[in-house]
Structure 1
Amino acid sequence: MQTGESLPNNPSGQLVIIGGAEDKEGDCKVLREFIRRAGGTKARIVVMTVATSLPGEVGETYINVFERLGAEHIQVVDTPQQEDANDPKAIEAVENATGVFFTGGDQSRIVAAVKNTKLDEVIHKRYAEGIVVGGTSAGAAMMPDIMIIEGDSETNPRVNVVEMGPGMAFLPGVVVDQHFLQRGRMGRLLSALAQQPAVLGFGIDENTAVVVNDGKFEVVGEGAVTVVDVADVTHCNVDQLLHDEPLAICGAKLHILPHGYKFDLQSRKPIVN
């Protein structure tokens, strides 16, 4: 475990990282925030369905909810293979978008089909220029540079609890886990942090989002975000363990942040006022 690192400065864009199972039928507080930040009634949204095995059904669901929230233009882009992510029509859609939204499914599909393609390049370029990139469930897990691919829930921290791999690097230097409270994932988040150079872990509850903007994030939704900070740990036994042995971490910091609370990513401190 590497500690004491600071996180890089964020680009001009914003991230809306959703813990999954967001409300799509009621007030839609989380998705409403995504649309508002992407331009409100003038928003031009690209829905990326690469993570799901049901792109038609899932795409239609988000078209309906985003239209109901007043977005001006919604386009579904499905890229099941890397060659699809080099399609000029997909590139053009993102170039004209004010928001790009990744649906749930399997985060490994996102990386396999989009990473290191022209579409990947243009989404990052537009994010640097100021658009909003959102994602739910798998679309949240892929946000860091090193992501959780899969892992056990409701377990104590151990080295073999979680499998990690390259993510899409919209928010480097952190680890993100979703469906956090509902699936009891504290053990796997701690296991992931112990194995990676990241110093912050975000456990995001369902129907809850971390909205990242200008080096800070704000919590939106009905649940909470659990922030684990391992920058100043006094002891970790990860280098001494075999795969089935329990992990020890001493001196980690824990923050539980409900709706409206903010967090400074550079100082790694909650903003309480």
Structure 2
Amino acid sequence: MMHLRTVLLPLLAIPYVSAHGFVHKVWIGTKTYLGNTPSAEPTASIVRQINSVDPVKGANNPFVNCGNDAQFASDIADANPGDSMSFLWTREDLSRWPHSIGPMLTYMTSCGSTGCTTFNSSNAKWFKIAQVGRIPGDPDGTWFQNNLFENDGVPANVTLPKNIAPGAYLIRHEIIALHLASRLGGAQFYPSCSQIRVGGNGNGTPHDDELVTLPGAYSDTDPGILVTDVFDTPPPPYIFPGPPIATFFSDSSSGSGSG
């Protein structure tokens, strides 16, 4: 007998075939920063411009770090420990985000003493500060990402570590779309990197064993990337890819969300 999920999965995937996107706006506290549309001439921004709204495919793709051919941004935004940051993901025409299934994860990396405007993200050592998956207690297994899909202008929200050490950082917000992830290589990665300068006098830093490279942190066969039961009901527990949230952050504030 054919499993119902086998019948429904191709139908569920139809709306997603050609719908992709990018980070159009970033908020830090009350300040707003615009990202550059991939097809536009670049303007001053803190968001590294990508050259295509298409997803990054393959966990070992070099563009999994900051997006498709991401370029240095000319600006850097000031931020304080504990600030809220919001990322507005849209399609290229600025309509609402087209995907609803999969986690959202946030990483940071120190740009060192030279700052972020010329920092090569392929050399980055990333640590995770947040991850959200399915909404806790939702009987249908609805993902937090669905808030972006259903509500025009609703961003993904993250809180910077309250005790993070001052300095220049890239912050990498990532959506992994899993609507085609029941087959190997079907997961779609949407990473975006923004350049910030954190003030304050915190001393929180990650341990060496919490640092990862991208690519390198994920495998195409990880259970959170190859998800054969993504449409099953009731939903099974979701296993986030990559490292755990850095302990210096998780010990001082809550950034994990829920799977």
Give the TM-score taking structure 2 as reference length: 0.27
Give the number of the structure whose residues are more often helix, by fraction.
1
Give the number of the structure whose residues are more often strand, by fraction.
1
Give the TM-score taking structure 1 as reference length: 0.26
